A and B are shown apart, each in its own frame.
Chain A
Amino acid sequence: MKKKTLGKIIKHDWRVLRADRAFLLVALLVALLLLYGLYNGAAARNQRRAAVESAMQSAENKIQIDKSELAAAEAQGITHTAEKPLWVAHPADRRTTGIGTPPSTLAVLSIGQSDLQPATSDEISQYKIKYDLFKNYEQDNPSNLLIGRFDWSFVIVFLLPLLILALTFNLLSGEREDGTLALTLAQPVSLRAVVVGKIAARYAFVLTFALGASFAGIAASGIGWNAEGTIIRLFLCFVAVVFYAAFWFAIGAFVAARGYSSAAGATALAGIWLALVVVLPSLLNVAVAALYPLPSRLEITNATRCAENESYRLEQQLLGEYFGDHPEYAPPEKRDDDSLFYVNGVVVAEDRERRVAPLYENFERQLANRQNFINRYRFASPAVVMQETINDLAGTGRDRQNRFVAQLRDYFDEWRNFIAPLMFKRELLKSTDYDHLPRFRFQDEPIGEIAARVLVGLIGLLAPTAIFGWLALRGTRNYPVRE
């Protein structure tokens, strides 16, 4: 008897919702906004991808040009000119530009931090230090960055809750104020069943068009279905939407069961939305900055420059020490030509890097502490959980960037270990050496690790949903059916 009644309530409410033009209009609007958000995300991802791939291709072209020039010189028996000291590996070093990785294919879902983060490095060089890999990428219009973009994650995290709250604020109070609630409850149906039925109908309603519109938009945005992990990531994303929507429906039911008037209910829900989506995240920010203050980047920069002065002063001494440690590289006779100039550069850079490494590592430790704090306390706001989850799955959050930087550093070492010995030994660079130049290829995180992180977040969404849902059902016991 109970199940049939519930089914009837759900069907009835579904029909009422479908017939209500206002609801349909709002539903259509949100579906359109989801599609619009995906369009924006796709445009941003495509622009970024085109720029990065172009930079990477152009870097590869330069390597090929150098290789063919060197091959032509070899064919003519030229080994050394004043302008092209071919016997040191220096020229190859000038070609380490455009080292990067294009955005992940699901970046259409969320612009995240990708509008702030550099995607390519031109600073891989044995004359530089591996902690300072990015330069001159910070030139976007800051007003745009401040306000943010209208992407799919914005609609889901900020606007979908508003729609859900709009659908639930007068769940019971509407009928009560119209006078029909008492009539409905005169039937052999419990208030609890009414609440569950109405919520279920609305939940199904919202999920149908939200996920439907999202899927259509994502399919149209040209994602690489065959790319590793894409389908799992998309699936997890949709599951997150299902959980997130459930949370807001639980909140709506909870407030509805308190027995407020429609206007008071609307106000209360607006307040809750504001608190969870606007105020709490900024308070989290404040907490993070207070508990984990970052060392000053200016201080690190000045310390690096101070180290540069030191290394420069000790140059000759450093060179002597280096050749002492690596006698196989020491020049056979005293040479006063360009080759020592380049070798100087390498030795000085390594010394500088050694001196400043603790500063950078300390800074990055503090950055990691901040992120760990957020990971732990994001559960205070489901909006934060949802945003971080989407960014993670879309590959536009901190995790992917940190991974990218770590792999760039490894590549930096690989490059230095390849080139420096060639330079020190003053080996003749051959055109065939260009085929063995270390190349960078970004390895994305195994999908299992991402999925594990995301699942923790989803469980974190589930807990408050269950609590508020239970409180809502309990509240129906004392609900004032008449005004």
Chain B
Amino acid sequence: MIAIIIRKELREMWREGRFRAAALIVFLLLAGALALGVQNYRQTTLEKQTANEADRANWLAQGEKNPHLAAHFGRYAIKPTTALSLFDRGVNQFVGVAVWMEAHLQDSFRFRPAEDATGVARFGELTAATVLQLLVPLLIIVFAHHVFAEERERGTLRQILSLGVSRRRLLLGKALGVAAGLALLLVPAVILGAAALALAASVPVEAEIVPRVAFLILSYLLYFGAILGLTMAVSAQAESSRAALTVLLGLWIAGSLLAPRLAVDAAQTLYPAQHYTEFWAQINKARDEISWRHPNNEHAENLKRETLARYGATKIEDLPINYGGLALQDDEEYGSRIYDQKYAELYATHDRQTLIQTLAGIFTPLVCVRSLSAAFAGTDYDAHRDFAWQAEAHRRRFVKQLNDDLTYNSPKNDWNYKTGAALWRQVPEFVYQPETLAGSLKRQSLSALLLAFWFAGAWLLARVAVARLRVE
């Protein structure tokens, strides 16, 4: 019986020229977005590879100089592009692609792609993920809103129910029918996506790419399922199919357009982040306190005293090490403590903002699936911060290595000490360890839970609505 209902729904959908046209358009947009994703992935990967090689060449070609000056010259850490970014770019347009690892400073990441884009870019990007998140729900709404209402209006509902079809079976059959229609669009799209992935990304940066794809598919299935369930519920409850369409379109506008932005507003009102000028003003002020320009510098005096005591000397000139290098490294570590504190504050604020946005998932499933999708694709803010944290750890290590060379390897107190490529080559290359899937999953547990609730809730609602379905 269900199979008959499914076939009937499917046939009706397929016969509608508008459905075929709309599905084709969405498929073409998906295919186009995937093609763009592949091209973008290839291009950025090549660019970054070239840039890494050039950065290494520059580092080694520094010539003879004081190792501390080499620390100032620094290295660039360039964030690699994940393979799944061809599907979902997440926040990639709004985070920098590289960070300058230099002495004394924990810099921000530079070269956010959105800054070089035109204002039109803020309307939204065309990626496979945005097509799935925004357009497919509309497709579901437009082609399933009439499923119950129209049957009632036509009078065929009474006939079907009089045949002894249970309402539960009717709901299941119709839902599966619509789902089958969607599958005609989505299955080829998934195949295309998988092909794009395999072709473009032979050596993906991220770990566990197959499980990630599996979780992505699962997330989107839950999302589409929730939308379908809601559509069925509204279709069953509404007075007419026109009313059903109006309500559903209104919900789509509220959930896709309004809720995410209102959540951002709430997040920024409740937990405002410092303006970058204030952030750096505070850091500079704190660091200045131990600067040689600061009068009555207790910290400097203490350091001198301790060092002299440690080496049993009475004057700086008598130390067996280069005190200048020691003082520089001390300044570096003092700075690191300040950065740890200030960046921790900044990130904590951002985390609270993100929590508010995640909680908006109570009001719209779009927020849940967006968050999960970016996390599995390795293009969310957390993935970026993980890279930033590893790059910073590397920076502190190699700056210390260079300062130590000045301190321990230079002739005493010789500020004109120079060294060269022999030392530069000893500085290890930065190797990034990408995040594990388990880590992403743990962080996304709230979004996943909310999405599951949406799915269950939508179908519960649909069941209740169909149980109370008026026959005319």
Contacts and interface: CB of A to CB of B under 8 A. Distances in A.
Interface stretch (A240-248, A251-259, A383-391, A449-457): A383-391
A112 interface: yes
Given A135-B107, A281-B124, A313-B63, A147 B264 contact: yes
A298 B98 contact: yes
Interface string B290-327: 00110000000000000000000000000000000000
B116 A297 contact: yes
A386 B52 CA distance: 41
Contacts of B54: 298-299, 302, 306
A163 to B, nearest CB: 10
Contacts of B346: 139
A116 B115 contact: yes
Contacts of A288: 117-118, 120
A371 B120 CA distance: 10
A208 interface: no
Interface string A152-168: 00100011001000000
Instruction: Tell which of A52, A118, A301, A371 has the most Cβ of chain B within 10 Å.
Output: A301
Nearest to A50: B275
A63 B395 CA distance: 33
Given A149-B265, A312-B63, A374 B95 contact: no
B253 A266 contact: no
The 4 closest A-B pairs by CB, nearest first: A51-B275, A281-B123, A142-B94, A298-B51
Given A145-B94, A147-B260, A270-B249, A374 B112 contact: no
B261 A309 contact: no
B264 A308 contact: no
B50 interface: yes
A143 B354 contact: yes
A19 interface: no
A55 B284 CA distance: 13
Contacts of B381: 141-143
Contacts of A139: 108, 273, 276, 279, 346
Contacts of A51: 275, 277-278
Interface in B84-101: 90-91, 93-98
A387 B245 contact: no
Say which size band chain B's interface belongs to: 35 or more
Contact of A284 (B36, B120, B272): B120
Contact of A263 (B51, B95, B242, B279): B242
Contacts of A143: 91, 264, 353-354, 357, 380-381
Interface in B182-205: none
A308 B262 CA distance: 47
B48 to A, nearest CB: 7
Interface of B: 18, 29, 32, 36, 43, 47-48, 50-51, 54-55, 57-58, 61-63, 65, 73, 76, 78, 90-91, 93-98, 105, 107-112, 114-126, 130, 134-135, 138, 142, 146, 241-242, 245-246, 249, 253, 257-258, 260-265, 267-269, 272-273, 275-281, 292-293, 346, 350, 353-354, 357, 380-381, 384
A482 to B, nearest CB: 18
Nearest to B257: A158
A28 interface: no
Contacts of B242: 262-263, 266
B177 to A, nearest CB: 20
Interface residues of A, number: 82
Instruction: Tell which of A138, A281, A398 has the most Cβ of chain B within 10 Å.
Output: A138
Contacts of B292: 83
Given A298-B51, A384-B120, A144 B353 contact: yes
B120 A299 contact: no
Given A294-B116, A297-B97, 11 more contacts: A40-B265, A51-B278, A136-B107, A139-B276, A146-B90, A150-B264, A281-B123, A282-B124, A298-B50, A302-B54, A387-B120
A148 B261 contact: yes
A378 B119 CA distance: 11
B108 A136 contact: yes
A296 interface: yes
A170 B374 CA distance: 40
Given A98-B277, A137-B276, A158-B257, A144 B119 contact: no
Contacts, number: 219
Contacts of B118: 285, 288, 370-371, 374, 398
A356 B267 CA distance: 42
A54 B281 CA distance: 10
Contacts of B261: 147-150, 154
A3 B465 CA distance: 51
15 contacts: A48-B275, A55-B277, A135-B108, A137-B276, A139-B279, A148-B261, A282-B124, A286-B36, A298-B51, A299-B50, A305-B55, A308-B73, A374-B118, A378-B120, A387-B119
B277 A138 contact: no
A38 B50 CA distance: 46
A136 B277 CA distance: 9
B277 A120 contact: yes
Contacts of B36: 286
Contact of B61 (A48, A116, A284, A306): A306
B78 A298 contact: yes
Contacts of B55: 302, 305
Contacts of A362: none
